Structure 1
């Protein structure tokens, strides 16, 4: 492994030996040499570590650790790196041809943040959607980027100054970090660059809606990052809507009404917020008791 590589790629994984091996091969096959690859095994209980251990490449390190979640795994990978820049790839995604070359070229030009486009691939239908970096809005200090694992590279010192990924957060961790990085880009006059080319394939699976996860994560984001989120009324309204819908599904009617009313207040022209509030406020029909018909 290179003593001081220019870029470290961090892949967190948990019980995904086949997918992780595919992701690792997509990185190692890029044709670049000035990088290292750290796979942080987040407490897998299968043969993920053994499968990756069979890969004979000095650029790869596998670091097993207790299961603490994806954000903690990414932070651990960065802390284990010695490079000037870091980037991230999820274990079920794939780096496409030219991915690392674009990152290396950009790093050598001295940027602090670099983004590329992504190809979102639906596992259910096989449909592909191309998304390019864009102005992220006032909550991100209008930085042009795409804060999706695999789509951006950041100077390691900037990542550290931003506080890294919020550990324990199960939803929205990329956005939370992105807002903090955007603030540093603006306040410290750092350099951000991007290209529209889709250089990473993100696999979208049909994820089961978890109301408790959404409520907990959105509430945490509102508390921890309110100063950033509140710069963008529509984004603030969206977060209140997420917490409101989740609270409603969890049976917390009063909290649901409060959060959905705040969503309407901050973005009154969004009809969907009104619809959600109306549904949450509607009286629920009483359950019919079991028994004989009259």
Structure 2
């Protein structure tokens, strides 16, 4: 039986990687995709890639903070709803304009709640469905360099935990919480930045495709909470054993490594205006840099 999968944040990063992973999926019949993002131009690009992989694609440009737009999405039959939208603001609390604080809460908290509300309405009407919420390990651990982003992820995790209890007696309705650790996406280039230095993915950053595979796995076999990679699993285990020490270590490590040595001017990034193009990777992984260096050496030797 074919399934319809709706993915928000589908134009970039984890959302885009997830769209491509579902498009390539054949075994479990994920043949129709509804791709949601603010940028129609970026969505058109990823939609073409998904169609090249054999998927039936509906492009739905929308801002998830708009209740009417989200309500329109809920008019479709949807078997799996992947909530992958996130924006970021980096810098000590108070370094950001109030408008940026408001926008972050509107997108990450209000927008996610609107989408979860719409998804649950669809699933109750159909009597089946899986909601996959992409959160963050920063819903468990602090990072004083991005306190507002971490706050929003705590809120999203709280929403997911409550929804899981709400549907506990519904065998065919599931809510999954995915907690990524550091991932190499364009998020760091597009976040509002008031640190004074350029942002980067906290090493060791994982490829977005690994998170996409985890999300596809949740659609096949829903799980209450899941992370990806050795770092994520070790952090969760350590937190159970020694929560305070783990929080302190992760806060220092993640805050220290979030910025690189290059200076950067303060600015809102893509917080208010969506970029016209999207990408899966941010170019921060060491392996990627090594490959580029190897290619340069190869050209130099010719």
What TM-score, normalized to structure 1?
A: 0.31
What TM-score, normalized to structure 2?
A: 0.31
The higher radius of gyration belongs to: 1
If each structure's strand is expressed as a fraction of its own residues, which one has the higher value?
Answer: 1
